[in-house]
């Protein structure tokens, strides 16, 4: 699919002579040398990204890694030194003032770390700010602002002033202000970083809920790996102005590009990253009907490495697990379901961390189902142990540095 | 005496004044006409209102905007002015202050905005402001009297020049102090330059601008008193008469009138800057 945002060969050099800085980068000098020689600071260096429509794309890095600069290059709050940023195939870097204002007011909204609300305006007028700038009439914009406030659960506080609200509530106003213009792209610059951890998690959930209602493309800047893993469909990791790795959270954890990327995982609980669907066995499990005989069941199990099968109903929903050793108690023509064990399945998105507890109590492997209850696979004991062992190794390897 | 260096700055200034007198007379007449009209309208309007009604309005304003205690102070203070038979000079002074402040704001605020927008403009205006503020105020009276003769108009002109710097400085400062993310928020939601100024920068700089306006009014009041030396009239004239006659009582009455006016203007204008907090 065509990416909604395509960044090509993007550079940003701050300082007295950006073009000279750019030339030195292309000569292969590093950031510190360029600063010493010319006083120019490299903000973003040779960035190439494709951001897909509807994904939450997290840009991660330490402070000074250029991530805030990068997000401001996307809506041209900062002018790039070289390179292109295309939004739906249109080059933002070549837009005139009029086109740029149109893009900003209709297609892209931004949420800020410090909330950046207007203290002299009420919550509803703050939420309506983007529409006010776009020239939408007072009644219409208040109506839409109220809808946006409702989406973030702040409808009751529409008449308050920002300084009467807590930090988390203020940022919900910031979110409502962005939502009110109904943008297809949201740029969120450390949007939740100023909030305390509990409120931060709540806001992340709210963002995910909002994505569920209407999928927007979200470019989310963060320095917090837990946050990136929680909300990110894909993560880009920046170091010294460069994007050093792009991938899904799992790809990055399993195969970090360098020591810097690895260092982010220090202290991160990897068993929270992997889910039941990542470690389940979905290929080697015979799936039986409710009336399959014991003989046939034994036969099917004999053809796979494991020693279990599952029984599903006519709609493919999980019913029970059958173990080969129990089938021996039955004559071949009895239905296998007579010795099947009914256990509570888990959904695909249950974290690896929650599985050992389940496994300890369950007489059989843990069945995994999707949101509709359809059978997806089994988390067998060997698979579980292997996954736990692997995540411990990742943690140990990262802990060394 | 012969070998002393003597840079004739005074001669140059005199030459400049002569040149202006010779060549810019129509402009000077225009300024004089406009300022005269402005002060006379204020004075005429304020004197047309019965004294008791104006007192009532000022007391009401003090009560509502500041506090009930200040309202009571206003009753006593304005009663004292009426009792000392200083109502007319007080109104004269007040209208001069209002006219001079209006002109100072009309010029000063746009200049402050221009300074905030450009470092170059700021660097070139700043020394002018320093000069305007540190020059002894009496010095303005000389060219004002030369250009415009004696009376209310030169007094108003000297006052405008003297009271303008605070509002220029604080408009500039207020706009420059607006949080960077708030500016970015404005731009990110599609503000053009004009919208950025009217929707973000000016509202957020308002507390600072209001402090500047307050300072400008207070400076205008102090200058209006001094300007009585070139016949601007009002309470300053009462003080001046007191000095000339060595009449301590009269001088003190005039001075007290100035103090009362200063306190009322200060507190009421300050309360405008705090509007949001008072009502929210």
**In a domain? residue A78:** yes
Are A286 and A310 found together in one domain? yes
**Chain B CB within 8 Å of residue A33 CB:** no
Residue A31, token pair as written in the block? 């950031």
**Chain B CB within 8 Å of residue A397 CB:** no
How many beta carbons lie within 10 A of that of residue B272, not counting itself? 13
Q: Tens digit of pLDDT for each residue in A112-142?
A: 999 999 998 999 999 999 999 999 999 999 9
Residues B200, A164: C-beta atoms closer than 8 Å: no
pLDDT over 90 percentage in chain A: 42
Give the up-direction half-sphere exposure of residue A394: CA atoms within 13 A in the CB hemisphere.
25
**In a domain? residue B60:** no
User: What's the rounded mean pLDDT across residues A350-377?
Assistant: 86
Residues A145-161 as b or e (16 or more Cβ within 10 Å = b): bbebbebbebeebbebb
Which residue, A230, A248, A268, sits at the end of a domain? A268
Residue B106, token pair as written in the block? 């009309």
Are A283 and A367 found together in one domain? yes
Asked if residue B280 lies in contact with residue A120, where contact means CB atoms within 8 angstroms, the answer is: no
Which of A185-189, A298-302, B213-217 has the least mean pLDDT?
Answer: A298-302
Q: Quick one: pLDDT band at residue A397, thresholds 50, 70, 90? A: low
Phi-psi region of A189 (alpha: psi -120 to 50; beta: other; left: phi over 0): beta
User: What's the rounded mean pLDDT across residues B84-104?
Assistant: 93
* DSSP secondary structure of A351-392: BGGGHHHHHHH-SSPEEEE-TT-BEEEEE-HHHHHHHHHHHH
Q: Tens digit of pLDDT for each residue in B101-111?
A: 999 999 999 99
**In a domain? residue B126:** yes
Nearest chain A residue to B205 by CA: give it. Answer: A120
Residue from B177, B188, B199, B280 whose CB has the most chain A CBs within 10 Å, to mutate:
B188
**Chain B CB within 8 Å of residue A73 CB:** no
Task: State whether residue B35 is helix, strand or coil.
Answer: helix
Domain of A336 in residue numbering reads as 277-387
**In a domain? residue B41:** yes
Interface contacts (A, B; CB < 8 Å): 64
Asked if residue A302 lies in contact with residue A282, where contact means CB atoms within 8 angstroms, the answer is: no
The Cα–Cα gap between B21 and B15 comes to 10
Are A202 and A237 found together in one domain? yes
Residue in the block written with tokens 């020049």: B161
Q: What is the CATH number of the domain that holds A345?
A: 3.10.580.10
Which residue, A220, A251, A268, sits at the end of a domain? A268
**Is residue A398's pLDDT more than 60?**
no
Are A230 and A301 found together in one domain? no
Q: Tens digit of pLDDT for each residue in A260-304?
A: 888 877 666 677 778 888 888 888 888 888 888 888 888 888 888
Are A327 and A380 found together in one domain? yes
All residues of chain A having their beta carbon less than 8 Å from the beta carbon of residue B195 are 133
**In a domain? residue A169:** no
The Cα–Cα gap between A192 and A199 comes to 8
The angle formed by the CA atoms of residues B64, B70 and B75, to the nearest 5 degrees, is 95
**In a domain? residue A41:** yes
**Is residue A96's pLDDT more than 80?**
yes
Q: Can you state the percent helix, strand and coil of chain A, rounding each to 5?
A: 45, 25, 35
Tell me the whole-structure pTM to 2 decimals: 0.76
**In a domain? residue A238:** yes
A378, β-bridge pairs? A281, A367
- What is the pLDDT, as a whole number, of residue B276? 46
Nearest chain A residue to B201 by CA: give it. Answer: A118
Are A289 and A380 found together in one domain? yes
Instruction: Count up the domains in chain A and report the number.
Output: 2
Nearest chain B residue to A160 by CA: give it. Answer: B280
Residue in the block written with tokens 């209709």: A106
**Chain A CB within 8 Å of residue B194 CB:** no
Following CA atoms B39, B41, B46, B47 in sequence, which dihedral angle do they give, to the nearest 10 degrees? 100
CA-nearest of A256, A269, A281 to A365 is: A281
All residues of chain A having their beta carbon less than 8 Å from the beta carbon of residue B201 are none
All residues of chain A having their beta carbon less than 8 Å from the beta carbon of residue B276 are 119-120, 161
Residues B190, A102: C-beta atoms closer than 8 Å: yes
**In a domain? residue B237:** yes
Which residue, A211, A244, A268, sits at the end of a domain? A268
Nearest chain A residue to B280 by CA: give it. Answer: A161
Q: Tens digit of pLDDT for each residue in A9-19?
A: 999 999 888 88
Q: Quick one: pLDDT band at residue A63, thresholds 50, 70, 90? A: confident
**In a domain? residue A74:** yes
**In a domain? residue B225:** yes
Q: Tens digit of pLDDT for each residue in A294-324?
A: 888 888 888 888 888 888 888 888 888 888 8
Asked if residue A111 lies in contact with residue A174, where contact means CB atoms within 8 angstroms, the answer is: yes
**In a domain? residue A138:** no
Q: What are phi and psi of A219, to 5 degrees?
A: -105, 115
All residues of chain B having their beta carbon less than 8 Å from the beta carbon of residue A129 are 185, 189, 199
The Cα–Cα gap between B79 and B264 comes to 13
Query: Which residues, 6 or more positions from A166, have their beta carbon under 8 angstroms from its beta carbon?
Result: A199
User: What's the rounded mean pLDDT across residues B59-86?
Assistant: 91
Q: Quick one: pLDDT band at residue A399, thresholds 50, 70, 90? A: very low
Are A245 and A359 found together in one domain? no
Are A263 and A281 found together in one domain? no
Asked if residue A5 lies in contact with residue A217, where contact means CB atoms within 8 angstroms, the answer is: yes
**Chain B CB within 8 Å of residue A194 CB:** no
A315 Cα to chain B: minimum distance (Å): 49
**Is residue B179's pLDDT more than 50?**
yes
**Cα four-point dihedral sign B64, B65, B66, B72:** negative
Are A190 and A330 found together in one domain? no
Q: What is the CATH number of the domain that holds A30?
A: 3.40.50.300
**In a domain? residue B66:** no
- What is the pLDDT, as a whole number, of residue B278? 39
**In a domain? residue A174:** no
Following CA atoms A127, A129, A135, A141 in sequence, which dihedral angle do they give, to the nearest 10 degrees? 10
- What is the pLDDT, as a whole number, of residue B279? 39
> In Å, how far are B109, B125, B222 from B172, measured between CA atoms?
8, 11, 24
**In a domain? residue B153:** yes
**Chain B CB within 8 Å of residue A112 CB:** yes
**Chain B CB within 8 Å of residue A220 CB:** no
Are A195 and A310 found together in one domain? no
**Is residue A144's pLDDT more than 90?**
yes
CA-nearest of A174, A192, A279 to A230 is: A192
Q: What is the CATH number of the domain that holds B275?
A: 1.10.3720.10
- pLDDT averaged over every residue in chain B: 89
Instruction: Count up the domains in chain B and report the number.
Output: 1
Are A97 and A16 found together in one domain? yes
Domain of B147 in residue numbering reads as 9-48+84-279
CA-nearest of B259, B266, B219 to B77 is: B259
Asked if residue A349 lies in contact with residue A321, where contact means CB atoms within 8 angstroms, the answer is: no
A287, β-bridge pairs? A310
Are A312 and A293 found together in one domain? yes
Spatial strand order of the sheet with A234-239 comes to A108-111, A185-189, A217-222, A56-60, A234-239, A242-247
**Pick the residue with more confidence: B3 or B123?**
B123
Residue from A79, A87, A101 whose CB has the most chain B CBs within 10 Å, to mutate:
A101
Q: What are phi and psi of B167, to 5 degrees?
A: -70, -35
Tell me the Cα Rg of chain A: 26
**In a domain? residue A328:** yes
């Amino acid at each position: 699919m065509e990416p909604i945002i395509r960044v090509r060969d993007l550079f940003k050099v701050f300082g007295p002579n950006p073009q000279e800085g750019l030339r030195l980068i292309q000569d292969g000098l590093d950031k510190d040398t360029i600063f010493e020689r010319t006083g120019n600071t490299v903000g973003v260096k040779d960035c190439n990204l494709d951001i897909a429509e509807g994904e939450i794309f997290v840009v991660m890095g330490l402070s000074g890694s250029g991530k805030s600069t990068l997000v401001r290059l996307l809506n041209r709050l900062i002018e790039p030194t070289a390179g292109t940023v295309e939004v739906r195939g249109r080059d933002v870097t070549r837009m005139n003032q009029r086109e740029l204002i149109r893009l900003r007011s209709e297609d892209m909204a931004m949420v800020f770390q410090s909330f950046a609300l207007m203290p002299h305006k009420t919550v509803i007028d703050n939420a309506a700010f983007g529409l006010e700038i776009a020239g939408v009439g007072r009644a219409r914009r208040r109506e839409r602002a109220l809808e946006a406030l409702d989406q973030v659960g702040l409808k009751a506080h529409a008449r308050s002033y920002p300084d009467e609200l807590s930090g988390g509530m203020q940022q919900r106003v910031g979110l409502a202000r962005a939502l009110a213009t109904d943008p297809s792209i949201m740029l969120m610059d450390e949007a939740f970083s100023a909030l305390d951890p509990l409120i931060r998690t709540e806001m992340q959930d709210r963002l995910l809920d909002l994505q569920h209602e209407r999928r927007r493309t979200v470019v989310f800047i963060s320095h917090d790996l837990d946050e990136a893993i929680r909300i990110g469909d894909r993560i880009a990791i920046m170091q010294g102005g460069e994007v050093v790795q792009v991938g899904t959270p799992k790809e990055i954890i399993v195969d970090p590009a360098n020591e810097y990327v690895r260092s982010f995982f220090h202290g991160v609980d990897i068993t929270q990253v992997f889910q039941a669907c990542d470690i389940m066995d979905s290929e080697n499990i015979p799936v039986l009907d409710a009336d399959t005989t014991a003989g046939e069941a034994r036969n099917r199990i004999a053809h796979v490495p494991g020693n279990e099968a599952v029984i599903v109903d006519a709609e493919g929903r999980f019913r029970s697990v059958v173990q080969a050793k129990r089938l021996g108690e039955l004559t071949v023509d009895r239905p296998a379901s007579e010795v099947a064990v009914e256990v509570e399945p888990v959904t695909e998105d249950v974290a690896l961390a929650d599985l050992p507890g389940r496994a300890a109590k369950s007489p059989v492997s843990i069945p995994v189902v999707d949101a509709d209850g359809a059978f997806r696979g089994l988390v067998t004991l060997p698979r579980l142990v292997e996954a736990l062992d692997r995540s411990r190794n990742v943690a140990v390897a990262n802990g060394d540095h | 005496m012969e070998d002393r260096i003597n840079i004739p700055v005074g001669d140059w200034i005199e030459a400049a004044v002569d040149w202006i007198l010779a060549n810019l007379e129509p402009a000077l007449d225009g300024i004089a006409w406009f300022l005269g009209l402005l002060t006379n309208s204020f004075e005429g309007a304020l004197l047309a209102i019965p004294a008791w009604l104006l007192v009532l309005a000022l007391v009401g304003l003090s009560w509502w905007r500041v506090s009930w205690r200040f309202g009571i102070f206003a009753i006593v203070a304005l009663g004292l002015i009426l009792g000392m038979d200083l109502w007319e000079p007080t109104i004269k002074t007040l209208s001069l202050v209002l006219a001079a402040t209006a002109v100072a704001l009309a010029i000063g605020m746009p200049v402050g905005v221009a300074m905030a927008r450009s470092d170059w403009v700021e660097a070139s205006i700043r020394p002018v402001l320093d000069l305007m503020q540190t020059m002894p105020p009496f010095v303005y009276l000389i060219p004002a009297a030369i250009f415009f003769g004696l009376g209310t108009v030169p007094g108003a002109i000297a006052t405008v020049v003297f009271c303008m710097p605070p509002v220029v400085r604080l408009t500039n400062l207020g706009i420059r102090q607006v949080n960077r993310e708030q500016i970015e928020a404005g731009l990110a939601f599609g503000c053009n330059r004009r919208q950025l100024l009217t929707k973000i920068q000016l509202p957020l700089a308002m507390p600072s601008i209001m402090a500047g306006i307050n300072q400008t009014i207070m400076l205008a009041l102090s200058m209006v008193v001094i300007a009585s030396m070139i016949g601007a009239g009002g309470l300053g004239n009462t003080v001046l008469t007191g000095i000339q006659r060595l009449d301590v009582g009269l001088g003190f009455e005039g001075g007290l009138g100035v103090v009362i006016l200063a306190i009322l203007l200060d507190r009421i204008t300050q309360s405008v800057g705090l509007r949001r907090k008072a009502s929210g």
